[in-house]
DNA sequence: TAGTCAAATGTAACCGCTTACATACGCACA
DNA sequence: TGTGCGTATGTAAGCGGTTACATTTGACTA
């Protein structure tokens, strides 16, 4: 009478109604052979009639292992991360795995509690598409013995696979491309961060620009993340005295914010200044002007993560390895031949180091 | 030796190490009183040393109830849905509930299997932020006896709470606003759908336009969803002979696609034609020109869903009710005073029913 | 007709936790 | 010293499945 779930039937109920034992029901439900067809039909009908749904907790508990993968994402709102998540999920579903995802919102506390949750759920594997990760958490993860694949966490760890994008290569391509268009004053807008993916872009920017020195100058502008951050950083940059021929943004969102500010100021892109993004999110194609950016193959990343999370018959599994994925340059409308800095001369005449033209 | 999870400790292990019974350990871990402080400390230390993490499956199974909510979302990539999800999640966390989310990708099959999963996990409640929902599934859900709150599913159901946005009101506001700016030829771009939220906007559009008849004409254009859908629909509309003074889109994404096409064609917004969106996603503020649209309070929606999903001491819980939420008009740059149709005359001279000016 | 063996099904232990109930403990009181 | 009682802890029965192992069934052989 006071059954906790008076409303949900269990194996016993099905077994009784079909006139068999729970073992047989279980066999039917798990598609094991060794069950007579007539029995199978009877059981299936009973389950159907009782609207039976197996209790997945009980199942996991009994099996002692699950086919559920955990995914940690810093920011699901970021279409870039989302695409990886989606690819990973499809790959998982295709192989009969379920997926639970936790959005950590860049919060360290949320991340910790999400990890606790995942461990508590005894997920079969964990994909970490997160940027914040301290050593204490790392310890917790390795202790848990759960297979883990990190996306883009800089420091390679023992026994943990790391899928990374070769951002250096991407950033190098952008700078070289802009250089070939005659750009000589490039600004890099990025959030102030020591995180691998970010600082790698920044460092490579500086290195590559340095290679073209002294004809080419580089400048770093710290910026908050997102559209608003880009807008704000553009404002700062333009009033800083550095007159860029090209503005390189650490990601597409920021670039769109920059475009917005430039438009507000009546500065034309790419005629007056070129702008580039990074990541190639969908928005990059639809903003105006469409953004020149670096495409990062999210689909492949997702699949690669899955492939390295789940043991496979004859897969490319490389445990404890670092796997590098190559990005590629996508040229659209927001970049063009450099026109020195004359477009900005109206705004910045005070700077005498440059000769206005036209 | 052949323990299934030789690597993960269980209550027994902790109990042994602390020299107590599993019951006591459980009491400590669940913060029950009736435990001597010295014992508590001993248990806690043992758990810590063993790096113990409770098995949540076992816990749910034993407790017979969970504090986990399931969220079904048609498309997490849609920032609009995402915002609702996020608000719902915060509300849940704030009250000690966990959340699992399933992205159904508008696929009916995915939805079914996600629902199965949720039922299997015995979630304490289910929030359905989905557009596809057939009667068979509905049956399955009501049979499961799980408390459910739907977002925006048109048909009110017995015993199921329905949180809805009053789209009529929003759409009416837009049309009236445009009418007050002198617009006389309005086109509505929306995907062809009988779904409540969509068809409601479409119908209200027609009704409201009809109120201003015969001075004002309305036109419906079917369109695929998303940016590309908007782009394509704009193309169709412009070559259809109907020369709109204003283009009303069923959502912001579509509107941004429209803006893109108009820009490509050299048609100015709002000088030549006004464009409106719906939803007020973040992008609406940052596209150019910034989009006039209807703001829908996602945060409140998320909170409301939670409030109606979880039994509360003295809450506003209204089971089986329909709760209406009011949207509001946000005027930005993409709308302006109507200038008849002269902007399009270059493209559409063939249509003799109109007198070109200027 | 009994014997053999594979196929079909049943029995019951176990997964790791919670919790009702039983028990042990200590202490005040008569 | 025995009694009673509140507090702290232990015992063991579930929760709803899975699965090793035991048992039954039945077709086929000798």
Say if residue B110 is in the same domain as residue B73. Answer: yes
Say if residue A154 is in the same domain as residue A181. Answer: no
Smallest CA–CA distance from A97 into chain B, residue: B117
Report whether B150 contacts B162 (CB < 8 A): yes
Residue A62 domain-assigned (yes or no): no
| Alpha-carbon gap: B227 to the closest alpha carbon of chain A (Å) | 8
> Alpha-carbon Rg of chain B, whole angstroms?
27
pLDDT tier at A98 (50, 70, 90 boundaries)?
very high
pLDDT tier at B342 (50, 70, 90 boundaries)?
very low
C-alpha triplet A24, A29, A31: angle, nearest 5° = 95
Find all residues with CB under 8 Å of B261, minimum gap 6, and list them. B230, B231, B234, B235, B238
Say if residue A200 is in the same domain as residue A315. Answer: no
pLDDT for residue A6: 46
| B45 CB below 7 A from strand C atoms | no
Q: Which residues of B152-186 are buried (b: 16+ CB within 10 A; e: fewer)?
A: bbbeeeeebbbbbbebbbbbbbbbebbbebebbbb
pLDDT tier at B344 (50, 70, 90 boundaries)?
very low
Q: How many CB atoms lie within 10 A of CB B5?
A: 12
Query: What are residue A280's phi and psi, to 5 degrees?
Result: 60, 60
Residue A289 near chain B (CB below 8 Å) = no
pLDDT for residue A79: 83
Average pLDDT over residues B53-79: 93
Report whether B81 contacts B252 (CB < 8 A): no
pLDDT for residue B3: 38
Q: Which of residues 54-83 of B touch A (CB under 8 A)?
A: 54-61, 64-65, 76-77, 79, 82
Helix, strand, coil in percent for chain B, rounding step 5? 45, 15, 40
Residue A89 domain-assigned (yes or no): yes
pLDDT tens per residue across span A195-223: 677 888 999 999 999 999 898 999 999 99
Does the pLDDT of residue A99 top 90, yes or no? yes
d(CA A47, CA A40): 11
Average pLDDT over residues B63-88: 92
Residue B160 domain-assigned (yes or no): yes
| Alpha-carbon gap: A317 to the closest alpha carbon of chain B (Å) | 22
pLDDT tens per residue across span B177-196: 999 999 999 999 998 777 67
Say if residue B174 is in the same domain as residue B162. Answer: no
Does the pLDDT of residue B116 top 80, yes or no? yes
Please choose, from the candidates B234, B239, B167, the residue with its C-alpha nearest in 3D space to the C-alpha of residue B201: B167
pLDDT tier at A4 (50, 70, 90 boundaries)?
very low
Query: What are residue A189's phi and psi, to 5 degrees?
Result: -105, 120
pLDDT tier at B257 (50, 70, 90 boundaries)?
very high
pLDDT tens per residue across span B274-326: 999 999 988 899 888 999 999 999 999 999 999 999 877 545 555 568 889 99
Higher pLDDT pick, B215 / A72: A72
pLDDT for residue B154: 57
| A12 CB below 7 A from strand D atoms | yes
pLDDT tier at A325 (50, 70, 90 boundaries)?
very high
Residue B194 domain-assigned (yes or no): yes
Residue A3 domain-assigned (yes or no): no
Say if residue A157 is in the same domain as residue A105. Answer: yes
Does the pLDDT of residue B132 top 80, yes or no? no
Average pLDDT over residues A29-36: 88
Residue A135 domain-assigned (yes or no): yes
Supply the range of the domain harboring residue A285: 167-297+330-344
Q: For residue B84, what are its two tokens?
A: 């609702």
Say if residue A102 is in the same domain as residue A209. Answer: no
Average pLDDT over residues B29-47: 91
Residue A91 domain-assigned (yes or no): yes
Contact (CB<8Å) B257/A286: yes
Query: What are residue B189's phi and psi, to 5 degrees?
Result: -105, 120
Residues of B in Cβ contact (< 8 Å) with A116:
53
Please choose, from the candidates B231, B107, B121, B80, the residue with its C-alpha nearest in 3D space to the C-alpha of residue A86: B107
Please choose, from the candidates A298, A300, A192, the residue with its C-alpha nearest in 3D space to the C-alpha of residue A254: A192
Say if residue A145 is in the same domain as residue A293. Answer: no
* C1' (C3) to CA (A24) span, angstroms: 28
What CATH number has the domain bearing residue A33? 1.10.260.40
Does the pLDDT of residue A1 top 70, yes or no? no
Say if residue B266 is in the same domain as residue B160. Answer: no
Query: What are residue A151's phi and psi, to 5 degrees?
Result: -105, 115
Q: Which helix (H) or strand (E) holds B128?
A: strand B125-129
Smallest CA–CA distance from B51 into chain A, residue: A143
Q: For residue A151, what are its two tokens?
A: 């996306």
pLDDT tens per residue across span B97-115: 999 999 998 999 999 999 9
Q: Which of residues 150-209 of B touch A (CB under 8 A)?
A: none
Say if residue B179 is in the same domain as residue B162. Answer: no
Q: Which of B53, B59, B82 sits opposite A77 (nearest CB)?
A: B82
Residues 9-38 of B near strand D (Cβ < 7 Å)? 19-24, 27, 33-36, 38
Average pLDDT over residues A21-50: 93
Contact (CB<8Å) B263/A288: yes
Say if residue A286 is in the same domain as residue A251. Answer: yes
If one counts the domains in chain A, the total is 3
Say if residue A88 is in the same domain as residue A206. Answer: no
pLDDT for residue A350: 39
Q: Is B149 exposed, middle or buried (CB count within 10 Å of its CB: 0-12, 13-18, 19+)?
A: buried
pLDDT for residue B186: 96
pLDDT for residue A329: 97
DSSP reduced 3-state for B50: helix
Average pLDDT over residues A291-315: 87
| B39 CB below 7 A from strand C atoms | no
* C1' (C15) to CA (A41) span, angstroms: 29
Residue A357 domain-assigned (yes or no): no
Say if residue A268 is in the same domain as residue A304. Answer: no
Residues of B in Cβ contact (< 8 Å) with A89:
103
Residue A22, strand partner residues: none
Q: Which residues of A124-158 are buried (b: 16+ CB within 10 A; e: fewer)?
A: bbbbbbbbebeeebbebbeebebbbbbbbbbeebe
Longest dimension (CA), chain A: 95
Does the pLDDT of residue A247 top 50, yes or no? yes
pLDDT tier at A356 (50, 70, 90 boundaries)?
very low
Query: What are residue B262's phi and psi, to 5 degrees?
Result: -60, -45
* C1' (D18) to CA (A11) span, angstroms: 11
Nearest protein residue to nucleotide C20 (CA to C1' distance) is B23
Please choose, from the candidates A127, A151, A83, A84, the residue with its C-alpha nearest in 3D space to the C-alpha of residue A323: A151
> What is the DSSP-derived secondary structure letter of residue B198?
H
Q: Which of A7, A55, A117 sits opposite B120 (nearest CB)?
A: A55
Residue B22 near chain A (CB below 8 Å) = no
pLDDT for residue B260: 92
Average pLDDT over residues B151-159: 68
Find the nucleotide nearest B12 (Cα to C1′).
C16
Q: For residue B124, what are its two tokens?
A: 């304490």
d(CA B218, CA A243): 49
Nearest protein residue to nucleotide D12 (CA to C1' distance) is B23
d(CA A237, CA A352): 17
Q: Report the number of secondary-structure helices (H) and strands (E) in chain A.
A: 13, 12
pLDDT tens per residue across span B8-34: 689 999 999 999 999 999 999 998 878
pLDDT for residue B321: 80
């Amino acid at each position: 009478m006071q059954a906790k779930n008076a409303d949900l039937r269990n194996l016993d109920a099905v077994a009784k109604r079909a006139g068999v034992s729970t073992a047989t029901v279980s066999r039917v439900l798990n598609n094991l052979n060794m069950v007579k067809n007539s029995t199978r039909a009877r059981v299936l009908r009973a389950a159907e009639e009782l609207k039976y749904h197996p209790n997945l907790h009980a199942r996991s508990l009994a099996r002692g292992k699950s086919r559920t993968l955990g995914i940690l994402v810093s920011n699901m709102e970021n279409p870039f991360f989302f695409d990886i998540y989606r690819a990973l999920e499809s790959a998982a579903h295709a192989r009969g795995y379920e997926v639970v995802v936790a959005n950590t919102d860049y919060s360290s506390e949320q991340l910790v509690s999400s990890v606790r949750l995942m461990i508590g759920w005894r997920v079969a594997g964990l994909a970490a598409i997160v940027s914040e990760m301290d050593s204490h958490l790392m310890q917790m993860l390795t202790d848990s013995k759960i297979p883990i694949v990190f996306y883009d966490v800089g420091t390679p760890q023992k026994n943990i696979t790391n899928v990374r994008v070769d951002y250096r290569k991407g950033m190098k391509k952008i700078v070289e491309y802009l250089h070939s268009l005659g750009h000589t004053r490039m600004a890099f807008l990025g959030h102030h961060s020591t995180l691998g993916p970010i600082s790698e872009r920044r460092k490579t920017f500086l290195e590559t620009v340095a290679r073209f020195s002294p004809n080419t100058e580089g400048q770093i502008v710290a910026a908050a993340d997102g559209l608003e951050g880009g807008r704000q950083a553009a404002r700062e940059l333009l009033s800083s005295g550095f007159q860029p021929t090209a503005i390189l943004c650490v990601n597409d969102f920021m670039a769109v914010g920059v475009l917005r500010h430039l438009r507000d100021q009546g500065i034309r892109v790419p005629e007056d200044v070129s702008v580039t993004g990074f990541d190639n999110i969908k928005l990059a194609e639809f903003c105006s002007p469409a953004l020149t950016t670096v495409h990062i193959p999210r689909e492949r990343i997702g699949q690669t993560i899955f492939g390295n999370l789940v043991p496979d018959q004859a897969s490319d599994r490389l445990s404890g390895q670092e796997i590098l994925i190559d990005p590629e340059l996508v040229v659209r409308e927001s970049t063009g031949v450099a026109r020195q800095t004359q477009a900005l001369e109206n705004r910045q005449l005070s700077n005498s180091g440059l000769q206005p033209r036209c």
